Structure 1
């Protein structure tokens, strides 16, 4: 009769190694997928956050603007735009101060917001220019549907490429109520 020695047989070691390799492979795949999802989420959040900041600043200015002072970016067409088209840029000015009767007695310089390549740019007639958001692929300004055209609907789309090469598009919209006078 033979006595058994303590230890593992070769087939047991091979099976245990294979099981360990499979478990480690599954864990590695899960960690890699989670890392990729975090990178994609961060890229998308970054683009959205920057565009949202630009939209918020634009909204603060537009809320001060009387409807009669809004035109397309060239100053040629008055608000509201043709519903079938919308505008790709907007130009306006707002009262900086009012007299005792409430009528404006001084105005801001004209301000223009428009897309320049992939940047939403704010320009004033004094020559100042500032990038409000990067990675913007489209922007439109449309009548928000109110009877008195006091709502400006701003729609823009941002685009970023995630670290793994995935192109991420994020549409954003904001409805802004402007002054009626």
Structure 2
């Protein structure tokens, strides 16, 4: 991780010790990509929030089987995404929020969550790119939706059941 470092060397008999002056190291690359939280109730508004630690600030691309979603482009009627924000933490419950260096968060909003949602996140840094699968769990999926999540099949089943 980027920061200030100092080297220390000790002779085997522990009598002589050498300590270097402090020096700064600037690490460039993607360090961490993780899902912080997700809430995906079937048929309702849901979200996935991710944390990305990288230097310099990366670009994020949310990938679905049908779309590439970025904060720079107006969202579709089904998805929208927030800009990449600095991650903040509170050291004390009532204390001020502190920025975590080189760590960012973003949130994908999903309108009308379906049982067939699949997501990947492409993180594009200055020197590398990484694509990760985002493991998710859809809540309260009706049994019929888990058996046949295709809109066409669901429509046919509804049509057949209404004629009975």
TM-score, normalised relative to structure 2: 0.29
More strand, by proportion: 2
Larger Rg: 1
Higher helix share: 1
Q: TM-score, normalised by structure 1?
A: 0.27
